Amino acid sequence: MFKKILIANRGEIACRVIKTARRMGIATVAVYSDADRDALHVEMADEAVHIGPAQAAQSYLVPEKIIAACKQTGAEAVHPGYGFLSERASFCAALEKEGIVFIGPKPKAIEAMGDKIESKKFANAAKVSTVPGYLGVIDDADHAVKIANDIGYPVMLKASAGGGGKGMRIAWNDAECREGFQSSKNEAKSSFGDDRVFVEKFVVDPRHIEIQVLGDGHGNVIYLGERECSIQRRNQKVVEEAPSPFLDEATRKAMGEQSVALAKAVDYQSAGTVEFIVDKDKNFYFLEMNTRLQVEHPVTELVTGIDLVEQMIRVAAGEKLSIRQSDVQMHGWAVESRLYAEDPYRNFLPSIGRLTRYRPPAEGKTGDVIVRNDTGVVEGAEISMYYDPMIAKLCTWAPDRIEAIDAMSEALDQFVVDGIEHNIPFLAALMQHPRWREGRLSTGFIAEEFPDGFAPLTPDPDDKRVLAAVALAAELLRRDRLDRLGGRLAPHSGEIKPDWEIRVGDDYVKAKIFDGMASVPMELDLSLGGGRPVTVISSWRPGEPVWNGTIGGRKVSAQVRTVPNGYRLAWKGMSVTARAMLPRTAELERLMPVKLPPDTSNLLLCPMPGMLVSLAVAEGQEVKAGETLAVVEAMKMENVLRAERDLTVSKINAKPGDSLAVDAVIMEFA
């Protein structure tokens, strides 16, 4: 077994590998760029080596710097994580040449299956069913359009070396094909250092289901069941689960055996994933093989009990697999939610900044539920524009699917992140979505169910009563604490006024308190909205970010943030401002004028922090609705900004190469 390994990655996956290595008694070496000098993986590792500037192309993507770090520290092996150099055969070969072990498959397997074009050619030769497409390298946009017309729209343009949704575009016509080809090429070059792009038919309403395989250097290969990854946005996975709610045992076995045959054909040694698209009739088509550890590997670990990182290390050290196919059993259900630094209310555009508050839910087993959080950040960490926007992967396990989903819903309610925008509200809303809960999924789920973007869930009358109770309980404690501060002229007598009104959003909920004290722990008997009396019980104290308690026996975990004269409450995908007031105050508040937001319809604002890549217009130019105005790059993704209506450009305030803040004015219109 190795004594020391280097992790050629960053963020949560580097931390994940370090945890297993530490448990196995293996020393670890981290590498870091300028942007990651104070990152969690650097702190966790036994040693750390600086490898260059913030840009990945000058640090994490430079094989020579990784090899030099190995020699400097005496690391015997390298775990590449995912992304960066994890599927570059030349890197694996360069390590072998230096006598350093690559914790992953051999170069032959990476070359055969890691490249999307070559893997499809190989799969065709092996008589594996694949999606129709053009497997050669595309010369230019005109060539891409010709191929797309031969195949028939819609088509998918994909970076050959791609992954994680980078370098992927769906095109429904020639114009989208031309634009998508260039964007895919640009993203592929900046993310993977390889700008080759290919085209394949886009299968409408598919499910994305993948099989986890594990092979050793002695000819043994097994599969560890499947993961359903159909909840995607812009071709990037958002929620995954294991097993799939769609597959039957016969289909699972057929997909697993085909995956094993494919892996054996390339002498696959390590953990790998064979991805399929599955249609409504359970016909499955080989999509690609990821010759690395997947982002969503924790759900497989939770349902099988097998540590995939440990198996990768043992295989790389020359050991035989100690697990046979008959040993693999799937127990219960696991769900993974990817927490991204993005604004769900602005069409999921990237967000960067400092995590002023970062409080994940407690990990471990409680009753029948397991909570796991794989992360690479801590409170105070900086979310950079240079890397992937993922903050953490929150996983829950329970005996069945609905229990696992409900556990995820509760864990998301308790996950506090401040300082940046993030997608927790969207994930929390998703857990309540009937179609998700029923398992009626496709890769188009988010586009179909949220065609106009995401907006917070609207509370129904019952939800409003729950939120009103939380706001009232918080307000009573705030007033009690304020009255007991030194120097107050007239502290109250201790008796609580019985009648209250709580504004929840734009509606008012009347409350009447029958019994209780403003103290911790709190127990109040009250009626809400004229309904039957309920008891509110909580040990929450002012300043705590999550209100935990019961309302009428119902368990509630709601996030509480103070705003002027009230609270911002987040619960199960709902986000409302609530203010608890005495009736006379509520009567006066109803008379207050509403402040309208400023009119920005004649401005093009930068929707996220990023770099202005290009301008497609000039001052004085007339443009039509839908035409491209500018392209902004953030977190390795290009975002095209288009005209919402016919207009004339009157002034341009930025130039290509400028770093822009959110809402910076790029141009003005006449």
Contact 240, 299 (CB under 8 A): yes
Judged by DSSP in three states, 338 sits in strand
Q: Rounded CA gap, 562 and 578, in Å?
A: 10
Judging by DSSP bridges, how do beta strands 27-32 and 47-50 pair with one another? parallel
Exposure string of 340-369, with b = 16+ CB inside 10 Å and e = fewer, is bbbbbebbbbbbbbebeebbbbeeeeeeeb
Max distance between CA atoms of the chain, in angstroms, equals 87
Is 288 considered catalytic here? yes
Judged by DSSP in three states, 27 sits in strand
* Residues facing 233 on adjacent strands: 236
Token readout for 598 is 């400023």
Contact 437, 246 (CB under 8 A): no
SS3 content of the chain, % helix, strand, coil (to 5): 30, 30, 40
Token readout for 503 is 């504004």
Contact 91, 111 (CB under 8 A): no
Judged by DSSP in three states, 430 sits in helix
**Which amino acid is located at 275 in the chain?**
E
Contact 578, 470 (CB under 8 A): yes
Element (H, E) at 514: strand 507-515
Set 76, 200, 210, 288: catalytic member? 288
Q: Rounded CA gap, 620 and 647, in Å?
A: 10
Task: List residues with catalytic annotation.
Answer: 288
